[in-house]
Structure 1
Amino acid sequence: MRGFGAANRPFTAIVMAISAIAGATSCATSQASAANEYCAIMSDSVGLYVGNPVTQMGYPIGEVVRIEPSSAEVKVVFTLNEGRPIPEGVRAVTRSPSILADRAIELVGNYDGGPKLKPAECIPLNRSSTPLSIAKIIGSATDFVNAINPDGSTNVADALRGIDEAMSGQGANANAFLTRASQLADNPDQTISEMGQITRNIAELTSMLRDNREPLKQILIDLPQTGPYAVQAVHGVSDLLKPLPELLALLNDLEVELGSELQIALDSVSELVRIASPHYKGIANILNPLPRFISGVNGEPVGATEGGLAKHLNNHIFNLLPWRPPLFRIPTPNGLLACGFMNASAPGSCADVAGRPYAVDVALLQYVLTEAQRR
């Protein structure tokens, strides 16, 4: 027995050494794994499984190692590649590459300085997001449809009926609209050119407003002073327009009463103008001497001693129709005294009758009118 124990001592020592090494390695691995473990508190873990990737900007940086559900939330434990820094305010989002694929945890936020997320520290629920499940989406759509069209309601049918009635007979218009849209899509150059022209016009307008900013500002500043004058001008225009109805009525009466005659006269004038228009050069030649004739009549050439014909005619007395005021012969005992008195008031109104010492010829009408004018 003693010999057997002595023989197995080396083997026992080897086994114990291997066990110690394995235990140390296991502890070291466990400690290293715990040093890279992080967690996120989420509202659900639909589509998340152990081994699913943890990504940042779509690049895998770790994987899910545990999922620990609770009554109102889920704790998802994951590991990260060694040496990967994560900011303390990072967000955790569950994303799906497609509608059928498993989900992954996306860490939103790159580290560029500041505090880091510590191992075993969990991302709180207020910094995590999960997409709605298909069931929830379908349920929400069902609730929406039920709200629009509850049991026994004809809302959808009535809406479709109204659309059908509105679209009835609009085929030609729809065809024309689609045709124009197709032409526009085939050749949009003209529309683009018009839009470019509009843009250029707007740019020119804004440039003009910018260049004339000071005058426009001054106009606005002067409005309190110029406003009353503008109001007076408007009142003046209103006064000018008041006779307009009467003028229009007059024109209407002229058209009613003399419309035919005016039309005939205008037609005749247009015909005369048409006939005379080919001879405009001859008419102009006939009228060319008139200014010289008028100048000569008015006194040209310069330095003429007698003046022009017009001056001569204006300064000449033509006795074509001799006339004198009516005379009344009045007897008087002293004709010379009476004529002297009357001629002093109205010269030439009285004359002594030759050969008759007791009578005078008196222009009675001239004398009376002269005295009446004086008084």
Structure 2
Amino acid sequence: MQRLLASPGFVTLIGGVLVAILSVAGYFVAFRPLDKTIGYCAILPDAVGLYPGNHVTMLGMPVGTVTALSPDGAGVRVEFEVDADHPLTGQVIATTVADTLVADRNLAVLGEPGAPDWNRNTCVTRTFTPKSMTETLAAFSALADQLGGNGDPAEHSRIRDTVTAFQRATSGTGPKMNALIQDLGTALRAPDAAIGHIGALLDALGELSTSISVNWQDIKTTLLNAGPGIAFVNEVWQQVIQIVDSLLVDFPMFNDIARKYGREILGGVDDLAPYLRLLGAGVGSLKQVIDMIPALVGAFQHAINPNTGKVRLTYVAPKVALPQADADQICAAVNTVAPGRCKTSDNGLAGVDLAAIVLGSVGAR
């Protein structure tokens, strides 16, 4: 055993085995071949700086690896795999990004959380790539040429003239710009005030919405029953309009009367005031006269002859109660003057037609 452990061949064997174990462990740690992945493809305008093995990132975090690149018409077909824990969903966008100008690029993909999974048999076509340095410099050079007049001597002063015009247009606006920036800085130093106002508005809106939700049935009933009420208001309003239109005609007339006869009318009212006081003082006697009116009307209720339709007044002679001996004597005297005009009864009453007697004494019939 000691000879075996001390032999150079055994030490070499143990070292090789340890190197193999570490290599396998490093491969599993680095590439995780046992993890489940999902394969996708994307059609990019170009694949500059993109190679198999480059990272596939989602929101800046590595989630997969580029597996292959191949030409596809005017673009490049990029095949890649992502972890099964981060599948692509919804409308997917793909692009290439790089940390520096000289580093290899990574493939960045972005989906829609909560949307259905992306169909693996369909390549992502909503793709774009950053401009290369050559294209960027060429665009900048073209812009510089346009600003410089494209070699035209007459246009060499274009930039100078533009700067001069801008300076002339902004002359004197420095203090206002400074004040505006200071006000903006003041607002940014205390953003909680505006946020507090916005929060209060949101809270008030929430309370209003809750109140509307709780009382919606009453509000709905009110709105449904508002139609007849509004129609009634419209009808009444039309009458109000007619009244106002009539007042537009009457007011000028009243104005003319007031201007022409106002003094006389006011004088007459002043003169009438003592009579009104006198009338007020005699309300008691006036009331007695008014109370007698029904009896007077009742006395002439037979003023029309029902047979002829002509006016007829029926007068009833008054009856006077006298002692029986006096009644007999009076009736005897009356009958002497006008036979049959007076009648007596046992109860001491004498019925005499005084109007016929008085008028007959002067020749009336």
Instruction: Give the TM-score of the pair, scaled to structure 2.
Output: 0.36
Instruction: Give the TM-score of the pair, scaled to structure 1.
Output: 0.35
